[in-house]
Homo-oligomer: A and B are copies of this chain.
Amino acid sequence: MKIEIITTGDEIMSGVTLDTNFHWAAEKLMSLGFDLRFHTSVGDDEEAIIEALRTAKRRSQAVIVSGGLGPTPDDLTAEVASRFFGIPLELNDDALQMIEERFKEQGRKLLEINKKQAYMPKGSQILKNFWGTAPGFQCEKDSVVFFFLPGVPKEFKAMLEEYVIPELDKRTLGRNKFKSRMVKTSGLRESEVAERLKGIEREGVKIGYRPNFPEIHIRVSGYGDTEEKAEKMVSEVIEDIVFRLGEYVFSTEGETLEEVVGKLLSRNRLTLALAESCTGGLVAHRVTNVSGSSNYFERGIVSYSNESKVEVLGVPKELIESFGAVSKEVVEAMAEGVRKLAKADIGVSISGIAGPTGGTPTKPVGTVFIGISHEKKGTSSQRFQFKGTREEIKLIASEVVLDRIRKFVLNNV
């Protein structure tokens, strides 16, 4: 069954927004073994949407349309679908009820404009939206099934998983069983990963590289006539990947780096305190994205000014004067200072030059020192030279910090 995705929206056609819905859905459908054949995008333009629907109906058997279900005047999809199918719009009572419920839950007043979202081509099947206020709908014409979903990524993704995939599954019984897992690595470039994994491909297994700056994720997908066979092939290849990449792999289950670090700290009953300068709170933000992080994360100090390094962290003023705030000496004093201040097991610090200004010949933009302090293992630091924009340097630095904590716990406890 050939599948086509149509993404609509002026923001996509004008290059304002990257079309992440398609990207995400493509990976999802492919990882489940579906035959995604075409993707079309068009603006919020009635004629263009009709033309895209017509073309899709001719060449595909399932069509997933995203976008244009909102309350604003440029949201045209339901109207266009009505014209395309030759079926009038009708107020769908279930849809109206769903919208009313969502607004009540959120304590919001239902505006006249929101009722528009309850209209859909007569006889369509409503796809309830539990993640937002725009209901979707499904209808069929000449044996081609159409799914209309909202364009808000969170809603699009949830509804694709909730409604579209089970329906496609039903319609493609007997296709190969499929298993897929995500291996995540930190510290290698895409070409380095590819070089180390040369020749790892085998019949029935597909390997996809997915750079997710600054990490490289590796999607391993296996096809087989039973789930067990598919699963086994995937596991074998992942074992081989871990053997070849070693400590660069931080998860074989798709977890985030901060989740992995959190589990390691929890399991070893260790507490963490952070002293951040150039990352400006990003490391603490990532650490606290994990539910339950209050069990191991004690506090963070974003010591942007030199005064705060001296006053809060107890860094000797003379160290800053002699070596500069971005130095081995200061970053180690920061790590030790925050560890003692917080009475934490591990103190970690970051000081650097995120740019674009502030660089010097000996400490150019991208120079970052990372310190780590532990009561028994002592205090040490490393110097790094990163490249990129301000936000990229912050992101790489936060990544290296988290990876340092991961390796410290793995190797020292």
Contacts and interface: CB of A to CB of B under 8 A. Distances in A.
Interface stretch (A7-15, A167-175, A225-233, A369-377): A7-15
Interface stretch (A83-91, A239-247, A275-283): A275-283
Contacts of A291: 355-357, 390
Question: At the interface, is chain A mostly helix, strand, loop or mixed?
Answer: mixed
Given A209-B16, A281-B282, A299 B299 contact: no
Give the interface centre of A190, A193, A219 by most chain B CB atoms within 10 Å.
Answer: A190
Contact of A41 (B39, B74, B312, B394): B39
Say which size band chain A's interface belongs to: 35 or more
A298 B305 contact: yes
A104 interface: no
B106 A208 contact: no
Given A152-B211, A274-B302, A300-B281, A111 B23 contact: no
Given A106-B387, A308-B298, A356-B291, A11 B281 contact: no
22 contacts: A10-B206, A13-B37, A14-B208, A15-B24, A15-B27, A15-B28, A15-B29, A15-B30, A15-B31, A19-B19, A22-B41, A37-B48, A38-B48, A72-B190, A72-B191, A106-B387, A111-B192, A281-B285, A288-B304, A292-B357, A298-B305, A299-B307
Given A13-B30, A37-B45, 13 more contacts: A10-B219, A11-B219, A12-B26, A16-B219, A17-B210, A18-B20, A72-B190, A113-B198, A280-B285, A280-B297, A291-B357, A299-B305, A301-B302
